[in-house]
């Protein structure tokens, strides 16, 4: 299977388990690894034979800005579900990162990674 990746998408969202996270909002980083057959696109050079990146980005952006979730696990799952419904993929891996995690200490980020297959 071939892979098309969008890495480092950044969105402001009102998700989190704490009320201050939902009230104020915070930055999230999203990566998508989209698995599909790219052989036709590699021959044709046509956008219709691959995934349209701007449309894929907009799909994730709309979900991030219009929804809120308590857990990154749910957020990642909803992104995977929506992308698999709207695009012709065989599999998707979604990584959600929260750079500013409210813990009493120092960490670079918290991250959730999920992989889902398209329902045939």
Whether 66 is a known active-site residue: answer no
Q: Which two tokens stand for residue 101?
A: 């995690």
Helix orientation angle between 72-86 and 53-66, rounded to the nearest 10 degrees: 140
Residue with tokens 């993929």: 89
- pLDDT at residue 8 is higher than 80: yes
pLDDT tens across 17-30, in order? 667 666 667 889 99
Q: What is the pLDDT of residue 103?
A: 76
pLDDT at 36: 97
Fold of 2-117: GTP Cyclohydrolase I, domain 2 (3.30.1130)
| Active-site residue, selected from the candidate residues 66, 98, 104, 120 | 98
Question: 76 with 113: CB under 8 angstroms?
Answer: yes
């Amino acid at each position: 299977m071939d892979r098309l990746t969008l890495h480092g998408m950044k969105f402001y969202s009102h998700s989190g388990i704490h009320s201050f996270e939902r009230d104020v909002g915070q930055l999230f980083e999203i990566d998508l690894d989209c698995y599909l057959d790219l052989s036709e696109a590699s021959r044709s050079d046509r956008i219709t034979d691959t995934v349209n990146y701007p449309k894929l980005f907009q799909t994730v952006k709309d979900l991030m800005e219009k929804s809120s979730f308590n857990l990154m696990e749910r957020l990642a799952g909803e992104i995977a579900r929506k992308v698999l419904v709207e695009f012709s993929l065989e599999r998707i891996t979604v990584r959600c990162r929260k750079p500013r995690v409210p813990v009493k200490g120092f960490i670079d980020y918290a991250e959730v990674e999920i992989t889902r297959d398209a329902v045939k």
